C-alpha cells in the first residue's frame, strides 16, 4: 500500500467546513440580510387544476407595509419568459414533446396544488404572509388526475393542451423481435409489476432566495447546486439579458439531493420583484411550501419480465414503464426516467437483450425531477425485484442467479445490453465481501431467535450498478498560488458532501502543501468563470480531475522556471515570482463512471403490528479510489438512510379525487429518524478503480439510496414468504405489512 | 407590542415584540443569531433547538413574549472563545454533520441528552434525538458523536 500523504488522498481528515457549521456561523440563504430588504410570500393555488378567472390584489396592496403584489399577468407584461427544460423526448407519432409553459407565476391555468399564482412583497415576512391571504382569486376548478396510469385512460382530465392524451413523450430501446424470440425459447419467465413510490427530497434547509437588482444587474443568492446553469437559465431563457448581468451567489447549502439543482419559479418571481421594487427581496419557503412546490422524485410503475434458460442464465428482459413527470417539465424531468435513469438498466448482469418502453406522463402534481439517484434507483429496484421473482420461478436461489449472470471482472470493459460501457468492477468479489461482512450464513440463527420472540426474520441482498457523471463531462478550475495560500476556483458546488475538504486533499496530494493552506472557492459566478455544478455524483471525479490537471500545470510551470518546489517551498516560490501564479486546469471525462455495490439487509417484522425493523444493514460499495474514507462512509450511511426511508416510510400521496397533497408536512410524511438503522456496516472496496478518469474515482454519494430499497424489499418479502405474501410495494409501512399479513391469513 | 428582557449567550437583551412573534424569529431576525435554524413549520425538525432556563426547547414552538426573564443559550454561545464545546468537537471528529443545517439543533439536543445522562446508551441517544431530523447523515455518526462527546466531557 502506498503511504498516505498527511492530509492527502486516502486520509480520513476531519472536514474543513465543519468549524463554521458547528458554531452557528454557517451562511445559508435565510441567514443573509441586505439593507432595505423586503420579504416575499406567495399566493398558491388551493386547486390541483383550475382556470384563473380573476386575481384581485387591491386589498393586499392597500395593506400597510406592502410594497408590491405581482401576478402572472404582471410577469408576462414585464417580458418575463417561462422556465426552460430539457425537451429531449418525442411523442409516439414522432413529433417533439411539448410541455405547457411553466411561468414563474401561473398565467391562465394552474396545474397542481400549491402552484404559485402571485407574489407579495412587504416590509416583513409576517406582513407579506398576511397580505398574501388578502389576495382574492376567482377560480374555475376542473377535475384533476394525479396518477400516471390514470392519466393515460380515455377521458382523463387533461393536463397539457399540447398532448391531449397526457402522454408527454416516449422512449424506447432494444429490438422487440429479438426479445420476443428469446422469451419464446425460454425455459422460465419471471414477471413483476412494481411501483417506485413518489418521494420528497426534504433537504432540511427549505429553499430560499434573496434577489437584488441594482443598476441593471441581478444578484441572486440561492441554495443551488448548479450556479452557472442557474445564471444561464435566468439570463438567456427567462429574462433575456446578457449573462454578465446576472450573478448567482451560493454560500452554504443545507442539503440538495438533486432537488436544488435547477431554477424554480419562485426564484424568478423573487428576482422580478426585486427589479420591480428596486429593493432586495428575500423569500424563505416554509416546509409546507417545500412539500407543495419542490420538485418531487421517483413515481413510476413498471411491468417487467425476465427470460431465463433452464440453468438460470438470463436471456432477455422486457420493461414497460409509466413515469409521472408532474404538471410541468422541470429541468431534467423528462430526462431522468428515460435517457439518464435507464443507463444502468442491465444491472451488473450480462443479460444480452433488453426491450424497453418508457411512457412519460403528465399529471396534476408537482413536477418530478432529480432526487438522489434520479432514475437509477428505479432501475436497480426493478432489476433486483425481477431477479428475486426469477428465483421463485426457477427454484434457483437468487444469490446463485446473480453470481451466474454477473459480468465477470475479466470481461471488463463490458458493453451492456443498454449499450453502456462498464469500465471496471468486480461484482463477484464485492458480493463475497458483503456476504462475509453481513455474516450471511449466520442469519439462520438470528431468524430462529427472532421467531422465539414471536417475530418474523428476513434477509435480503441486492446488487446495484449506477451511471454517474451526469451528461456533462467537462470541468475546469483556476488555481492560484499565492504568497500564503493555494486557492482553487471551481464551478462545482459544495452542498454538504464535503467537497471543500476532498478538493483540498487533492491539492495536498499533488503539491505537498499543508491542508490549512488550501482554499476552495465555489458558488459565485463572478469569481468562478464556469462550471457544471454538482449533480449525478460528478464533482469529485470530474471536478477533482480538473484540480489534478491544474496542479500538474503548476508543477510544469515551476519546472519551466527552473524550480521544483514542494510543501511550503511553493509559497516562497510564489513570493520569488512576484506574488500570485495562476493556472487553469481542465478535463473532459467522456465516460460515465460505474460505482456499484452489494447491500445486505436483515429485518424483523412484528406479526401483530406489521412494523418492520431493520436489524442489520451491510453496504459494500465500490466507488473506485477513495479520497477521504471518513466522508465516503458518511455519504454511504446517509444515502442508505434515504434508501431505507423510501423502502420503509416515505411516500408523497395525492388525493385521487381532489388532487390535494395529503402528505404535506413532517407530521404526514414520515422521515427517517435517529435509529432508522441500528447496526450499519459500511465497507469500501477499492480493488477495481475507475479506468476512465485520472483519479480512478467513481461517483460516490448516491449508492445507498439505490442499493437499500431492493435489499429491504428482498428481506421483507423473505420474512413474509412463509405467510404466503409474495408481493408488496414500497413503502413497507406497518399498516401495509399488517394488512398483507391479514389477507394472507384469510 | 410587549416589552421583554432576557439573557442570551450571557448578554442582557430588552426589546419590544409583537404578541405573535415566535422566539426563533426574534433570535434570528432581530438579534441576528442565525445559527438557530428553521427547518419546518410543524415543530418536528428540531433545527431551532436552544437551551432555555436549562431545558432544551424548540424555539419555533414558543412565543418570544414567553421568553421574558429567561436565560437562553444558542449554538453561538456554546464555544468558549476559540475552544469548541466538547459536543461541537465530537461532531467534527466523528463526521456527525454533512450540510450542517440540522447541526446546531442536533448539538443543542445532544448537550441536553448529556446533561441529563453523562453515559447515554445508543437507545438513550436515539430517544433523546427523537425530535430532531437530519436528512444527510443517516444519524449513525451523530450517535457516535454524542458518545464521543460523553468521553470528552469526562476527560
Ligand atoms: S423549526 Fe422545525 S422544530 Fe422548530
Ligand atoms: S447534516 Fe444535513 S440535515 Fe443533518
> CB–CB of A581/A574 below 8 Å?
yes
**In a shared domain, residues A640 and A720:** yes
Residue A144: CB atoms within 10 A of its CB come to 27
Element (H, E) at A616: strand A612-622
User: How far is residue A457's CA from residue A444's CA, in Å, rounded to a whole number?
Assistant: 9
Q: What is the 3-state secondary structure (H, E, C) of A238-302?
A: HHCCCHHHEEEECCCCCCCCCCCCCCCHHHHHHHHHHHHHCCCEEEECCHHHHHHHCCEECCEEE
**In a shared domain, residues A736 and A677:** yes
Locus of grid cell 470541468: A475
Count CA atoms within 13 Å of residue A270 on its CB side: 28
Angle between the N-to-C axes of helices A376-394 and A703-721, in degrees from 0 to 180, rounded to the nearest 10: 30
Helix or strand or coil: residue A512?
Answer: coil
> Which of A 258-317 lie inside 8 A of B, CB atoms?
284, 286-288
Q: Provide the 8-state DSSP code for A675.
A: T
Evaluate if residue A635 carries a pLDDT over 90: yes
C-alpha cell at A537: 455524483
Locus of grid cell 428553521: B38
Q: CB under 8 Å to A357, separation ≥6 — which residues?
A: A170, A171, A172, A319, A320, A321
From the CA of B45, the nearest ligand is 1
**In a shared domain, residues A107 and A55:** yes
Q: Does A668 touch chain B (CB under 8 A)?
A: no
Q: Provide the 8-state DSSP code for A647.
A: I
Centroid of ligand 2 to alpha carbon of A372 (angstroms): 15
The helix, strand and coil proportions of chain A, stated in percent and rounded to the nearest 5, come to 30, 25, 45
The helix, strand and coil proportions of chain B, stated in percent and rounded to the nearest 5, come to 40, 20, 40
Single out the residue of A82, A138, A79 nearest to residue A105, CA to CA.
A82
- Sign of the C-alpha dihedral, residues B140, B142, B145, B149? negative
Atom of ligand 2 nearest to the CA of B100: 1
Of all residues in chain A, the one with the smallest CA distance to B108 is: A22
Q: Which residues on neighbouring strands pair with residue A458, listed in sequence order? A: A603
User: How far is residue A203's CA from residue A183's CA, in Å, rounded to a whole number?
Assistant: 44
**In a shared domain, residues A580 and A623:** no
**In a shared domain, residues A243 and A306:** no
> CB–CB of A325/A290 below 8 Å?
no
C-alpha cell at A724: 404466503
Q: Does A677 touch chain B (CB under 8 A)?
A: yes
Atom of ligand 2 nearest to the CA of B106: 4
C-alpha cell at A377: 434507483
Of all residues in chain A, the one with the smallest CA distance to B46 is: A204
> Which of B 25-84 lie inside 8 A of A, CB atoms?
25, 28-29, 32-42, 44-45, 47, 74-76, 78-79, 84
- Sign of the C-alpha dihedral, residues A392, A396, A397, A399? negative
Q: Is B40 in the pocket of ligand 2 (CB under 6 A)?
A: no
Start and end residues for every CATH 3.10.20.30 domain found in chain B: 2-77
Q: Provide the 8-state DSSP code for A732.
A: -
pTM of the model: 0.97
Q: How confident is the model at residue A435 (pLDDT cuts 50, 70, 90)?
A: very high
Residue A87: CB atoms within 10 A of its CB come to 15
> How many independent structural domains does chain A possess?
3
Evaluate if residue A1 carries a pLDDT over 80: no
Residue A191 lies in a domain: no
Single out the residue of B134, B61, B129, B80 nearest to residue B103, CA to CA.
B134
**CA torsion angle for A321, A325, A327, A333 (degrees, to 10)?**
-150
Q: How confident is the model at residue A5 (pLDDT cuts 50, 70, 90)?
A: low
The proportion of chain A whose per-residue pLDDT surpasses 90, expressed as a percent, equals: 92
Inter-chain touch B38–A206, beta carbons under 8 Å: yes
Element (H, E) at B149: helix B140-154
Residue A15 lies in a domain: no
Angle between the N-to-C axes of helices A734-745 and A703-721, in degrees from 0 to 180, rounded to the nearest 10: 30
Q: Is B64 in the pocket of ligand 2 (CB under 6 A)?
A: no
> CB–CB of A68/A105 below 8 Å?
no
Whether omega for the bond prior to residue A413 falls within 30 degrees of 0, making it cis, is: yes
**In a shared domain, residues A460 and A511:** no
Q: Is A496 in the pocket of ligand 2 (CB under 6 A)?
A: yes
C-alpha cell at A156: 382523463
- β-pairing verdict for A116-122 and A38-44: antiparallel
Q: How confident is the model at residue A746 (pLDDT cuts 50, 70, 90)?
A: low
**In a shared domain, residues A55 and A69:** yes
Task: Output the CA–CA distances (angstroms, integers) from residue A485 to A20, A152, A543, A662, in the order listed.
Answer: 19, 59, 20, 52
Residue pLDDT, tens place only, A260-303: 999 999 999 999 999 999 999 999 999 999 999 999 999 999 99
Q: What is the pLDDT of residue A2?
A: 41
Q: What is the pLDDT of residue A470?
A: 61
User: How far is residue A477's CA from residue A241's CA, in Å, rounded to a whole number?
Assistant: 26
Among residues A533, A555, A588, the one where a domain terminates is A588
**In a shared domain, residues A119 and A267:** yes
- The closest residue, in CA terms, to atom 1 on ligand 1 is B38
Count CA atoms within 13 Å of residue A3 on its CB side: 2
pLDDT (tens place) for every residue of chain B, 155 residues total: 999 999 999 999 999 999 999 999 999 999 999 999 999 999 999 999 999 999 999 999 999 999 999 999 999 999 999 999 999 999 999 999 999 999 999 999 999 999 999 999 999 999 999 999 999 999 999 999 999 999 999 98
- Sign of the C-alpha dihedral, residues A228, A229, A232, A234? negative
Residue A218: CB atoms within 10 A of its CB come to 21
Q: How many angstroms separate the first and last alpha carbons of chain A?
A: 60
> CB–CB of A604/A471 below 8 Å?
no
**In a shared domain, residues A359 and A444:** yes
> CB–CB of A356/A172 below 8 Å?
yes
Query: b or e along B115-136 (b: 16 or more beta carbons within 10 Å of the residue's beta carbon)?
Result: eeeeebebebbbebbebbbbbb
Q: How many angstroms separate the first and last alpha carbons of chain B?
A: 47
The alpha-carbon gap from B123 to the nearest alpha carbon of chain A, in Å, equals 8
User: How far is residue B132's CA from residue A739's CA, in Å, rounded to a whole number?
Assistant: 30
Please provide the DSSP assignment of A369-410 as one string. ---TTTTHHHHHHHHHHHHHHHHHHH-S-HHHHHHHHBPPGG
Angle in degrees, CA A552, A555, A557, rounded to 5: 110
Locus of grid cell 408527454: A168
Q: What is the pLDDT of residue A393?
A: 96
C-alpha cell at A515: 491542508
- The closest residue, in CA terms, to atom 3 on ligand 2 is B134
Residue A154: CB atoms within 10 A of its CB come to 5
Please compute the mean of the pLDDT values over residues A206-218 and round it to a whole number.
Answer: 98
User: How far is residue A525's CA from residue A249's CA, in Å, rounded to a whole number?
Assistant: 7
What fold is seen in the domain B2-77? Ubiquitin-like (UB roll) (3.10.20)
User: How far is residue A469's CA from residue A591's CA, in Å, rounded to a whole number?
Assistant: 8
User: How far is residue A264's CA from residue A380's CA, in Å, rounded to a whole number?
Assistant: 29
**In a shared domain, residues A277 and A304:** no
Among residues A530, A553, A588, the one where a domain terminates is A588
Residue A23 lies in a domain: no
Nearest beta carbon to residue A204 from set B42, B75, B133:
B133
Chain A residues in contact with B48 by the CB 8 A cut-off are none
**In a shared domain, residues A429 and A477:** no
Q: What is the pLDDT of residue A4?
A: 45
Residue A19 lies in a domain: no
Give φ, ψ of A598 to 5 degrees.
Answer: -120, 125
- The closest residue, in CA terms, to atom 4 on ligand 2 is B134
Mean pLDDT lowest among A274-278, A344-348, A530-534: A530-534
- Sign of the C-alpha dihedral, residues A89, A95, A100, A104? positive
Start and end residues for every CATH 1.10.150.120 domain found in chain B: 86-154
Please compute the mean of the pLDDT values over residues A85-111 and round it to a whole number.
Answer: 94
Q: Which CATH architecture has domain B86-154?
A: Orthogonal Bundle (1.10)
**In a shared domain, residues A103 and A226:** yes
Query: b or e along B1-37 (b: 16 or more beta carbons within 10 Å of the residue's beta carbon)?
Result: eeebebebbeeebeeebeeebbbbbbbbbebebbbbb
Centroid of ligand 2 to alpha carbon of A254 (angstroms): 7
The alpha-carbon gap from A704 to the nearest alpha carbon of chain B, in Å, equals 10
Range of the domain at A137: 37-142+204-255+260-293
Atom of ligand 2 nearest to the CA of A255: 2
Q: How confident is the model at residue A179 (pLDDT cuts 50, 70, 90)?
A: very high
User: How far is residue B59's CA from residue B52's CA, in Å, rounded to a whole number?
Assistant: 9
CATH of the domain at A576: 3.30.365.10
C-alpha cell at A694: 485520472
Residue A91: CB atoms within 10 A of its CB come to 17
From the CA of B109, the nearest ligand is 1
Query: b or e along A626-665 (b: 16 or more beta carbons within 10 Å of the residue's beta carbon)?
Result: bbbbbbbbbbbbbbbbbbbbbbbbbbbebeeebbbbebbb
Residue A619 lies in a domain: yes
Among residues A569, A588, A607, the one where a domain terminates is A588
Q: Provide the 8-state DSSP code for A100.
A: P
Q: Provide the 8-state DSSP code for A516.
A: G
Q: Which residue has the higher pLDDT, A65 or A536?
A: A65
User: How far is residue A413's CA from residue A459's CA, in Å, rounded to a whole number?
Assistant: 32
C-alpha cell at A288: 409546507
Residue pLDDT, tens place only, A227-271: 999 999 999 999 999 999 999 999 999 999 999 999 999 999 999
Nearest beta carbon to residue A666 from set B42, B78, B88:
B42
Amino acid at each position: 500500500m502506498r503511504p498516505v500523504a498527511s492530509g492527502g488522498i486516502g486520509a480520513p481528515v476531519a472536514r474543513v467546513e465543519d468549524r463554521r457549521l458547528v458554531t452557528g456561523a454557517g451562511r445559508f440563504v435565510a441567514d443573509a440580510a441586505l439593507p432595505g430588504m423586503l420579504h416575499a410570500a406567495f399566493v398558491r393555488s388551493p386547486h390541483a387544476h383550475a382556470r384563473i378567472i380573476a386575481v384581485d390584489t387591491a386589498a393586499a396592496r392597500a395593506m400597510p407595509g406592502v410594497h408590491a403584489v405581482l401576478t402572472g399577468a404582471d410577469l408576462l407584461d414585464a417580458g418575463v419568459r417561462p422556465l426552460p427544460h430539457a425537451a429531449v423526448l418525442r411523442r409516439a407519432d414522432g413529433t417533439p414533446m411539448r410541455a405547457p409553459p411553466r411561468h414563474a407565476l401561473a398565467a391562465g391555468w394552474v396545474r397542481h396544488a400549491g402552484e404559485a399564482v402571485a407574489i407579495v412583497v412587504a416590509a416583513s415576512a409576517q406582513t407579506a404572509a398576511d397580505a398574501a391571504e388578502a389576495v382574492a382569486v376567482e377560480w374555475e376548478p376542473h377535475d384533476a388526475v394525479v396518477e400516471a396510469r390514470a392519466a393515460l385512460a380515455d377521458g382523463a382530465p387533461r393536463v397539457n393542451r399540447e398532448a391531449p392524451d397526457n402522454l408527454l413523450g416516449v422512449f424506447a430501446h432494444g429490438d422487440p423481435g429479438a426479445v420476443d424470440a428469446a422469451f419464446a425459447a425460454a425455459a422460465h419467465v419471471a414477471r413483476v409489476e412494481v411501483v417506485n413510490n413518489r418521494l420528497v427530497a426534504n433537504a432540511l434547509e427549505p429553499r430560499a432566495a434573496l434577489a437584488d437588482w441594482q443598476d441593471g444587474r441581478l444578484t441572486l443568492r440561492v441554495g443551488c447546486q448548479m450556479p452557472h446553469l442557474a445564471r444561464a437559465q435566468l439570463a438567456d431563457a427567462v429574462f433575456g439579458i446578457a449573462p454578465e448581468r446576472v450573478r448567482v451567489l451560493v454560500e452554504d447549502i443545507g442539503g440538495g439531493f438533486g432537488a436544488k439543482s435547477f431554477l424554480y419559479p419562485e426564484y424568478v418571481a423573487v428576482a422580478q420583484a426585486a427589479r420591480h421594487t428596486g429593493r432586495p427581496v428575500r423569500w424563505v419557503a416554509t416546509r409546507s411550501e417545500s412539500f407543495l412546490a419542490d420538485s418531487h422524485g421517483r413515481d413510476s410503475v413498471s411491468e417487467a419480465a425476465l427470460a431465463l434458460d433452464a440453468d438460470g442464465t438470463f436471456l432477455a428482459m422486457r420493461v414497460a414503464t409509466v413515469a409521472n413527470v408532474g404538471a410541468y417539465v422541470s429541468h431534467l424531468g423528462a430526462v431522468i426516467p428515460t435517457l439518464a435513469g435507464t443507463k444502468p438498466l442491465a444491472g451488473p448482469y450480462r443479460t444480452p437483450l433488453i426491450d424497453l418502453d418508457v411512457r412519460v406522463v403528465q399529471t396534476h402534481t408537482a413536477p418530478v425531477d432529480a432526487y438522489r439517484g434520479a432514475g437509477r434507483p428505479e432501475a436497480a429496484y426493478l432489476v433486483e425485484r425481477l431477479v428475486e421473482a426469477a428465483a421463485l420461478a426457477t427454484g434457483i436461489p437468487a444469490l446463485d442467479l446473480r453470481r451466474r449472470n454477473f459480468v465477470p471482472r475479466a470481461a471488463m470493459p463490458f458493453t451492456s445490453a443498454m449499450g453502456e460501457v462498464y469500465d471496471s468492477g468486480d461484482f463477484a468479489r464485492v458480493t463475497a465481501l458483503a456476504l462475509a461482512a453481513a455474516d450471511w450464513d449466520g442469519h439462520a440463527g438470528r431468524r430462529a431467535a427472532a421467531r422465539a420472540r414471536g417475530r418474523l426474520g428476513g434477509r435480503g441482498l441486492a446488487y446495484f450498478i449506477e451511471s454517474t457523471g451526469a451528461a456533462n463531462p467537462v470541468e475546469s478550475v483556476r488555481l492560484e498560488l499565492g504568497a500564503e495560500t493555494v486557492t482553487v476556483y471551481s464551478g462545482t458546488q459544495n452542498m454538504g458532501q464535503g467537497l471543500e475538504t476532498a478538493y483540498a486533499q487533492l491539492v495536498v496530494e499533488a503539491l505537498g502543501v499543508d491542508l490549512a493552506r488550501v482554499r476552495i472557492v465555489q458558488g459565485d459566478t463572478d469569481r468562478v468563470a464556469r462550471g457544471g455544478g454538482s449533480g449525478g455524483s460528478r464533482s469529485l471525479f470530474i471536478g477533482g480531475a480538473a484540480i489534478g490537471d491544474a496542479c500538474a500545470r503548476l508543477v510544469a510551470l515551476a519546472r519551466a522556471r527552473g524550480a521544483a518546489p514542494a510543501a511550503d517551498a511553493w509559497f516562497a516560490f510564489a513570493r520569488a515570482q512576484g506574488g500570485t501564479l495562476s493556472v487553469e486546469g481542465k478535463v473532459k471525462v467522456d465516460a460515465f463512471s460505474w460505482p456499484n455495490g452489494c447491500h445486505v439487509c436483515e429485518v424483523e417484522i412484528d406479526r401483530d403490528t406489521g412494523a418492520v425493523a431493520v436489524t442489520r444493514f451491510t453496504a459494500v460499495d465500490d466507488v473506485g479510489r477513495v479520497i477521504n474514507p471518513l466522508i465516503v462512509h458518511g455519504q454511504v450511511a446517509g444515502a442508505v438512510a434515504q434508501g431505507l426511508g423510501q423502502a420503509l416510510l416515505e411516500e408523497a400521496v395525492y388525493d385521487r379525487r381532489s388532487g390535494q397533497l395529503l402528505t404535506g408536512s413532517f407530521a404526514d410524511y414520515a422521515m427517517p429518524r435517529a435509529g432508522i438503522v441500528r447496526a450499519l456496516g459500511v465497507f469500501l472496496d477499492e480493488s477495481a478503480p475507475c479506468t476512465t478518469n485520472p483519479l480512478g474515482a467513481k461517483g460516490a454519494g448516491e449508492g445507498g439510496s439505490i442499493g437499500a430499497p431492493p435489499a429491504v424489499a428482498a428481506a421483507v418479502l423473505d420474512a413474509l414468504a412463509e405467510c404466503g405474501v409474495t408481493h408488496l410495494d414500497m413503502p413497507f409501512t406497518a399498516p401495509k405489512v399488517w394488512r398483507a399479513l391479514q389477507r394472507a391469513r384469510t | 407590542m410587549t416589552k421583554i428582557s432576557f439573557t442570551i449567550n450571557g448578554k442582557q437583551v430588552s426589546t419590544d415584540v409583537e404578541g405573535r412573534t415566535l422566539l426563533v424569529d426574534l433570535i434570528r431576525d432581530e438579534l441576528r443569531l442565525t445559527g438557530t435554524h428553521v427547518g419546518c413549520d410543524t415543530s418536528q425538525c428540531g433545527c431551532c433547538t436552544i437551551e432555555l432556563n436549562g431545558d432544551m426547547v424548540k424555539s419555533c414552538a414558543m412565543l418570544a413574549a414567553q421568553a421574558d426573564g429567561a436565560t437562553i443559550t444558542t449554538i453561538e454561545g456554546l464555544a468558549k472563545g476559540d475552544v469548541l464545546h466538547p459536543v461541537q468537537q465530537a461532531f467534527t471528529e466523528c463526521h456527525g454533520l454533512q450540510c450542517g443545517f440540522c447541526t446546531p439543533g442536533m448539538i443543542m439536543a445532544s448537550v441536553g441528552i448529556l446533561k441529563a445522562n453523562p453515559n447515554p446508551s445508543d437507545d438513550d441517544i436515539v430517544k433523546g434525538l427523537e425530535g430532531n431530523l437530519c436528512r444527510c447523515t443517516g444519524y449513525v455518526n451523530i450517535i457516535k458523536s454524542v458518545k464521543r462527546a460523553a468521553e470528552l466531557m469526562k476527560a
